[in-house]
């Protein structure tokens, strides 16, 4: 794997706390040596935040779709209608 992709894999290990204690210390030492790696770590943290946002939106859309489908079942729709009458 390309060395920059290896670095991405290492940042993932750092963000998801998958490093051993020793590896974690080594990585943090590298982090403290310059801004370039720290910037990449922050961008990757943000990338994971966006992936989560995207995924949750998709999952919420799926759940909303299930609700709409169930509303087409007369028995289900009738139950809700009688509750909120």
What is the three-class DSSP state of 18? coil
Q: Which is nearer to another protein, 25 or 57 (CB)?
A: 57
Q: Which is nearer to another protein, 25 or 80 (CB)?
A: 80
- Token look-up 């989560």 returns 52
Report the nearest approach of another protein to the CB of residue 17 (Å): 14
Separation between Cα atoms, residue 21 and residue 23, nearest integer Å: 6
What residue ranges bind another protein (CB under 8 A)? 1, 4-5, 8-9, 12, 40, 43-44, 46-56, 58-60, 63-64, 66-67, 69-70, 72-76, 79-80, 83-84
């Amino acid at each position: 794997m390309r060395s920059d992709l290896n670095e991405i894999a290492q940042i993932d290990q750092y963000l998801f706390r998958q490093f051993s204690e020793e590896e974690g210390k080594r990585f943090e030492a590298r982090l403290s040596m310059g801004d370039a790696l720290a910037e990449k770590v922050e961008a990757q943290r943000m990338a994971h935040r966006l992936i989560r946002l995207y995924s949750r939106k998709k999952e919420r859309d799926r759940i909303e779709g299930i609700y709409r489908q169930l509303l087409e079942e007369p028995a289900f729709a009738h139950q809700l209608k009688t509750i909120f009458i």
